Amino acid sequence: MKQLDVELGSRSYPIYIGAGLLQQSPALVGAQLSEQTLVISNSVVAPLYLDTLLEGLADIPACTLIIEDGERHKTMETLNGIITRLLEEQFNRTCTLVALGGGVVGDVTGFAAACYQRGVGYIQVPTTLLAQVDSAVGGKTAVNHRLGKNMIGAFHQPAAVISDTDVLESLPAREFRAGVAEVIKYGLINDNEFFCWLEDNIEGLLQLDAACLAHAIEVSCRNKAGIVARDERESGLRAILNLGHTFGHAIETALNYETWLHGEAVAAGMSMAAHLSTKTTGFRESDALRVNSLLEKAGLPVNLPDTVSREQLRELMAVDKKARHGRLHLVLLEEIGKAVVTPDFEEADLAATLRHTPDLS
């Protein structure tokens, strides 16, 4: 087992990474649990892992709540269902929520914890690669609005993150690949050495080679933990974690959070960001080709879906959280391993990126 720490002073917390950690969860986080514990999972994950987690929590009288699976259920309605259950069980301010699932479960559980009685504790037990390397770490919580993704939320740090690598073996290949998109992101924004490692080891990672998987998760979490520790509330540096997300969130919203997975939309977004970077920041076209090549080797899309118009995408991008005074700020690349947040791009270059397949041919 590996342990990393997100250093946030009195709100610091551990990230545990390893095999078989669901069974070890009481020893890892017993001190953070209370007599009033609510485990929240979804209709896909619960049949696989809820009993294992509850067996480990045998000495703690935990309640459970199962929500529907999928991004389209990351809504105020789902949030209200969680709050209602907490009130029905008469949970007080010392209660603990446990999120057992992927990014949707983690986001909505974390937001419920942030809202309930002005903030209660919660623990992340992510069961997808995307959640283990990204959404479960850093304290961003939210639900979606029909006009934009993650527009209703709060920063609320968990008490701990337990990433059991064994659960990834049951993850559908498509969902695993979607998580790889976020892994690739860390190499692009902050870690050239890691990006080169991914170019050499992407096949092993996709085959769930234990050593490759453990290394990819640890390095990704270490990168994110370091960035979050320096900029918890995204006032500057942390925004680079959104590489590809302004494009990707707009794609997801245009598709009504159906058809594409989050990581697939982010992958296409990173390809477009790389393309625009060649016109804006001096990013080399040869490196943009490397970005596309790695994404394609990972089985991820680099083009927009045919059903999304460029005009619709640009309109949706305008409501991105990084927009300031009517001006969109984008995360672009200066080189592999170095990202920048900038409003200094030509609208014509953005339009050109949205208009054509970004293959640089």
Mean pLDDT for 138-154 is 94
| Rg over CA atoms, the chain | 20
Q: Give the pLDDT confidence of 73-120 residue by residue, as tens digits.
A: 999 999 999 999 999 999 999 999 999 999 999 999 999 999 999 999
Residues 6+ apart with CB under 8 A from 3: 14, 15, 16, 17
Q: Which of 71, 232, 234, 252 is catalytic?
A: 234
- Of 281, 299, 303, 309, the C-alpha closest to 359 is 303
Average pLDDT across the chain, whole number: 93
Q: Give the pLDDT confidence of 246-300 residue by residue, as tens digits.
A: 999 999 999 999 999 999 999 999 999 999 999 999 999 999 999 999 999 999 9
303 is known as an active-site residue = no
245 is known as an active-site residue = yes
272 close to 335: Cβ distance less than 8 angstroms: no
pLDDT above 90 covers a percentage of the chain that reads: 84
Q: Give the pLDDT confidence of 326-349 residue by residue, as tens digits.
A: 789 999 999 999 999 999 999 999
262 is known as an active-site residue = yes
118 is known as an active-site residue = yes
Q: Is the dihedral of CA 164, 165, 170, 171 positive or negative?
A: positive
Q: Which of 245, 275, 321, 329 is catalytic?
A: 245
| pLDDT at residue 305 in the model | 87
325 is known as an active-site residue = no
Q: Which of 149, 156, 177, 238 is catalytic?
A: 238
Q: Which of 262, 275, 321, 329 is catalytic?
A: 262
140 is known as an active-site residue = yes
249 is known as an active-site residue = yes
Q: Which of 249, 275, 321, 329 is catalytic?
A: 249
What is the value of pTM for the model shown? 0.93
Q: Which of 73, 74, 140, 275 is catalytic?
A: 140
Q: Is the dihedral of CA 224, 229, 233, 239 positive or negative?
A: negative
| pLDDT at residue 199 in the model | 98
Q: Which of 182, 232, 252, 264 is catalytic?
A: 182
